[in-house]
Amino acid sequence: MPEITVPDWDQLFMTMAYLVATKSKDQSTHIGAVIIGPDREVRTTGYNSFPRGINDNVPQRQERPEKYFWFEHAERNAIFNAVRFGASLKGCTLYTNGIPCMDCARAIVQSGIKKVVVDKSWDDQNPPEWREHAVRTLQLFKEAGVKLRFWQGELIPVVKFNRGEIIG
């Protein structure tokens, strides 16, 4: 049986963000967000998707620029999910693939989240048109006292377990 390496917390939560992102039906961008409480408990998750109850099988809604009217971002979806179920986000940490846009950054500040952890490798690949958002997001976070940290590490290889044995 192969040996299992115990991940550190950042590795675990960033891997979770990527796993949550696989739920997105966006044809070009898969973003996930995981919000963690001060005791390292998962408070909520989100991925970029249509709002609840909205038909996401309309092809025109999947294409740029129309998709920007329909898709909700992962970070805000995670925040909305917390609100829906009554979970406080005060003092929490948000893990996500890349630097949040300004709309998400404002929601992060207003919800009480105090730390944001971003995958550095994803951020390095951001298209130039997103850089403007990133600069402003960093400024907003700095003024609001939200700490942003770039994570540089390896994601956990996804494995399947069967009665304690690794099968994949």
What DSSP letter does each residue of 66-84 carry, written as one string?
A: THHHHPBPHHHHHHHHHHH
Q: What is the distance between the alpha carbons of residues 75 and 45, in angstroms, rounded to a whole number?
A: 8
160 pLDDT tier (thresholds 50, 70, 90)? low
Q: What is the mean pLDDT of residues 134-160?
A: 92
Known catalytic residues are 75
Q: What is the pLDDT of residues 52-88, one digit of tens each?
A: 999 999 999 999 999 999 999 999 999 999 999 999 9
Q: Would you tell me which CATH number, out of the four given (3.10.129.10, 3.40.140.10, 1.10.150.120, 2.60.40.10), belongs to the domain 9-166?
A: 3.40.140.10
Q: What is the pLDDT of residues 117-143, one digit of tens each?
A: 999 987 677 777 778 889 999 999 999
Instruction: Say what the pLDDT of residue 139 is.
Output: 98
Q: What percent of the chain has pLDDT over 70?
A: 91
